[in-house]
Amino acid sequence: MELVRTYTAVVNAITANVLNAQAGSEWLSAEPQNLEEVRRSLNSIADDGMRAGEALVRLRSLMEKVSIVDGARGP
């Protein structure tokens, strides 16, 4: 179950990055440009990237635990 939650956290963070990048691009295309919203979008992208990285570390750890357990069972 923890594996599914961690995987979901990675997917959610990546999805949030895409949405924030699209929003930032739209704010730059606006007339006049809304640089404060672009700044917020970039900060969100950085935060979500960190969150995805942390979740990937947890996911890797979980995968190693699964490999160790599976390896201990033998053929």
Q: How many domains does the chain have?
A: 1
pLDDT tens by residue, the chain, 75 residues: 888 999 999 999 999 999 999 999 999 999 999 999 999 999 999 999 999 999 999 999 988 888 776 665 555
Tokens of 31: 């007339």
Q: Give the chain's end-to-end CA distance (angstroms, integer).
A: 25
What was the pLDDT predicted at 47?
96
Closest to 54 (Cα-Cα) out of 16, 10, 8: 10
Structural domain range at position 59: 2-73
pLDDT in tens, 43-62: 999 999 999 999 999 999 98
Residue 34 backbone phi and psi in degrees, to 5: -105, 85
